Structure 1
Amino acid sequence: MSGTSAEARHATVRVALVKAGRTKIRYPAELLADDGTKLTVRAPWAAPHVRDFGFVRFEPGDVFTEHYWRDRWYAIKEVYAADGTLKGWYCDVTRPTVRTGDTLTVEDLDLDLWVSADGATILRLDEDEFAESGLATTDPAAAEAAVRALDDLEALARAEGFGTL
C-alpha cells in the first residue's frame, strides 16, 4: 500500500523490526511521507533504557527520523538528541521494506553503519554477526545484496553524506 505525502502526514504506523525470522521490536511511528518507493517516519527511541555503543548513546528522549525504501537493501535513521541536536545516522542493512496497511516490516540483516553528525566517523558494524548468521549459505543472493548495500552506504556517506535525505 502506498499513499501520497499529503495523505501520509500525521498517520500512525507500526514499524516491525524482524531479525532471523522473529520480530525483535514493534513501535509506533508518525508517517511523514510515502511516495510509493520511499517511506519516512518519525519515532522516539523505543527502548526505556540507554543503549551505549561507545561511539553514540541512544537514550529516552532521542528522536529518530527513519527512511525506508521498497527498492533498496537498507534503512537510514537520523538520530537526534532530545534538544534537537543531530547525533548522526545509524544505517541498517535490511531487505527492502514492505508496507501492509499500517505496518512497515523491516527485516534486519545484521550489517550496520554509523556516521557521526560531522561525518568524520564512519564505522562498519556487526560484520561478525552477519558472518555468523549463515545467510551466505541459506540465501546467497540476499547475502550478496546485503554486502553490496553496506558498501553503497559507506560510499554515499564518504562522498555526499546523508544531509539531503
Structure 2
Amino acid sequence: MPANSAEPDAMVDVVLVKAGRTKIRYPAELLQDDGTRIVVRAPFAGTGVRDFGFVRFDPGDVFTEYYWRDRWYAVMEVRDPSGVLKGWYCDIARPATFSGTELVVEDLDLDLWRSADGTDVRRLDEDEFAESGLTETDPEAATAALAALDELESLARGGDFESLLSR
C-alpha cells in the first residue's frame, strides 16, 4: 500500500469536486488500496430520497465505491439496507487522488447507470457535459472522459462489468 494513504478499515473523507468547487464531502470506510484502485464503503451521502425514475437512492442505502488512480471513472455499487443490489452508478471523473485520509475525485458530468440484472444500461447527463465547455477548455480531458464512458458502457452491456470490480 502506498505510504501516502490510510490503512484499511480507516475512515477517509471522500471529496467530490465539480467545476472547481467541492460538491459533497462525506466519511467512508477504506476497504482496500492496492496502489491503483481504492475501495471505500459509505452510507448514501445525500439528504432525503433521490429518485431518478429508473432507480431510487434512499437513506440507509450502502455504496461500495471503486476509484482508480489511472482511470477516468469511478463505480459505485448500490445496495439497499438489507443488502439487495440495486445496481451500479458510474461517474466519469479524472483519476482519483488520495493523500493522507482525503480521497479527491473531480466529476466531469457524464454518468452511466447499470441495473442489478444488467437489462438497464443508460448514459446520463450528456447534456450537462456538453454545457460544461470541457471540450473547449480541456479537449484532452473531454476525449478521455468520452472514451471512459464508452468503455464502461461496453463493459456494462457485454456482461463483463462485475469483473471490473474484482480486478
Q: Please state which band the TM-score falls in when normalised by the shorter chain.
A: over 0.9
Percent identity reads: 67
Separation in structure 2 between the aligned mates of residue 2 and residue 115 of structure 1, nearest angstrom:
31
Pairing 1:30-41 to 2, within 5 Å after superposition: 30-41=29-40
TM-score by length of 1: 0.95
Number of aligned pairs? Answer: 163
**1:152 shift after superposition:** 0.3
Pairing 1:8-157 to 2, within 5 Å after superposition: 8-157=7-156
**Deviation string, structure 1 residues 56-84 (Cα, Å, up to 9, x no partner):** 00110000000000000000000000110
Contact 1:119 1:161 in 2 (8 A): no
**1:163 shift after superposition:** 2.4
Separation in structure 1 between the aligned mates of residue 60 and residue 143 of structure 2, nearest angstrom:
36
Q: Which runs of 4+ in 1 moved over 2 A?
A: 160-164
**Deviation string, structure 1 residues 133-163 (Cα, Å, up to 9, x no partner):** 0000000000000000000000011113432
- Aligned residue identity for 1:158: R
Separation in structure 2 between the aligned mates of residue 73 and residue 158 of structure 1, nearest angstrom:
19
Equivalent position SS for 1:77: strand
**1:10 shift after superposition:** 1.0
Contact 1:75 1:94 in 2 (8 A): yes
* 1:2 corresponds to: 2
Contact 1:49 1:60 in 2 (8 A): yes
**Deviation string, structure 1 residues 102-159 (Cα, Å, up to 9, x no partner):** 0000000000000000000000000000000000000000000000000000001111
- Aligned residue identity for 2:43: P
**What is the Cα-based RMSD across aligned positions, in Å?**
1.5
Separation in structure 1 between the aligned mates of residue 19 and residue 90 of structure 2, nearest angstrom:
18
- Aligned residue identity for 2:161: F
Equivalent position SS for 2:162: coil
C-alpha distance 30-8 of structure 1, shift in aligned 2 (>3 A): same
Separation in structure 2 between the aligned mates of residue 9 and residue 162 of structure 1, nearest angstrom:
25
Separation in structure 1 between the aligned mates of residue 160 and residue 26 of structure 2, nearest angstrom:
27
Listed as ranges, the gaps of 5+ residues in structure 1 are none
Separation in structure 2 between the aligned mates of residue 162 and residue 138 of structure 1, nearest angstrom:
31
